[in-house]
Amino acid sequence: MHHERQIKQHGIPFGWHVPTQRMVDASSVANGLACECICSACSAPLQAKQGKVRAWHFAHHTDTNCQHAAEAAVHRMAKQLIEERQQVHVPERSFRKMLHGEKQVWSEEIAVTVQGSGLQVLTGCVAEKTIYGNNPQDGIRRPDVLALLDGHPLAIEIRNTHEVDIEKAAWLKQQGYSVLEIDIADTAFEPMESITTLLERRLFANSHLAQWLCHAGDDAAKRQLIELEADTRAKRREEELFLLAEMEAKALAEQKRIAARARLQDIDDFRLRLEDCTVRIGRNIRRVSLKVHGFTAKPAFSKIMNLAHRYGGQFNKKGKCWEFQPKQDIEAFFLQLCSEAEMVCLGTNRRTPGGVAPIPTPPTTPNVDGDSQSTFRIAPETDERFEERAAILQYDGGFSRQEAEELAGQNI
């Protein structure tokens, strides 16, 4: 962590003044060996260094192998500061719990505060006092500082290089003590002149580096939290039932929406190439649709349109397709339309090398009304041709409405 040389160069911020039996800084005593101070770590004599260049500090009088003089000095000084001022700044301690209603319809955090944050006045504050367990076999421990806070026994542990050992904290908890740990490990090697200010801030102005390892009020607070939870749940129950009903209604509506969409969605489709276009025939549970994707020249388009009309297709402007709503057996109708469309497309796509289209095979004439085999009625030729052609030229061909109408007029 720190090299020995570094420590020696840094110096020792505080010494144990033997005549007054307390920690002092180098400006509170005489210079040199006359300071009457010893090292908190090794008890060897110190000399005060009241020089002109460096901040005043202490150093071992003779070269020793003492490696933790600075840390031991700030540790002992911290204990003394608390003991003399009978105060310490503590962090908040509270128990919190996130509550959720059934199916998470509500959430609320509840909390019971064991201890508020802030500078607290201590009573009977004493450093390094040995305490005995409640039973003879419990043994003894020596916390850094002992005091009473709001009538509860409090042990303060000043953390330097090592955290408070778990066994010691558990022992103190068992004996009914609150245990507060304050970390000062970073202060020993700060610039000499600022160490006292840093320590005072750490102990009395904030508690960012302090933590409760346990608190004498914990058990009571935990019981309160259980009561608070029961109260909160009871208060929320009416609202919870309302929200659950609302949630169920929403889920039902969503199910209906999904079912409705499923009815509209194609459950089957068939695609064919027609010149540079794709002819798609789709089927859902209530209708069959026929659509030409892409722009195709008039002869090919007309064949598809004629096919649609022969089978009673109604042009759906929004879907830009023909729709068929046979009264019975949609699947059979779908298959028949697919096979008819396949023949139309085959006939159109088959070209001779000379570019002359062969005469397409006429599609099988579907059964007409009155035939007992017929399931489908054939619609008469309608006057919708212009409208259909224009709509397709506009939407699939990418022409403006005006251009589409002009082209449709030439082609029909």
Please say which residue, 43 or 382, places its beta carbon nearer to Zn ion. Answer: 43
For 57, the token pair is: 């500090």
Pick 42 or 131: Cβ nearer Zn ion: 42
Nearer to Zn ion, 40 or 336 (CB): 40
Compute the least distance from the CB of residue 171 to Zn ion, in Å.
30
Among 76, 83, 91, residue whose Cα is nearest residue 178: 91
- Structure tokens given for 382: 């309608």
- Tell me 12's DSSP state: B
Q: How far is the CB of 39 from Zn ion (least distance, A)?
A: 3
Least CB distance to Zn ion at residue 68 (A): 8
Question: How far is 54 from 10, CA to CA, in rounded Å?
Answer: 10
Using the CB atoms, write b or e for 171-183: b if 16+ within 10 Å: bbbebebbbbbbb
Cβ nearer to Zn ion, comparing 47 with 348: 47
Interface residue list for Zn ion (CB under 5 A)? 39, 41-42, 66, 69
Would you list the DSSP string of 288-310? EEEEEES---HHHHHHHHHHHHH
CB of 13 to Zn ion, least distance (A): 13
**Which CB, 35 or 66, lies closer to Zn ion?**
66
Q: How far is the CB of 8 from Zn ion (least distance, A)?
A: 11
Phi, psi at 277, each rounded to 5° = -110, 170
Task: Tell me the closest approach of the beta carbon of residue 230 to Zn ion, in angstroms.
Answer: 58
What are the b/e assignments for 86-120, b being 16+ CB within 10 Å?
A: eebbbbebebeeeeebeeebeeeebebebbeeeeb
Instruction: Compare residues 69 and 407 and give the one whose CB is closer to Zn ion.
Output: 69
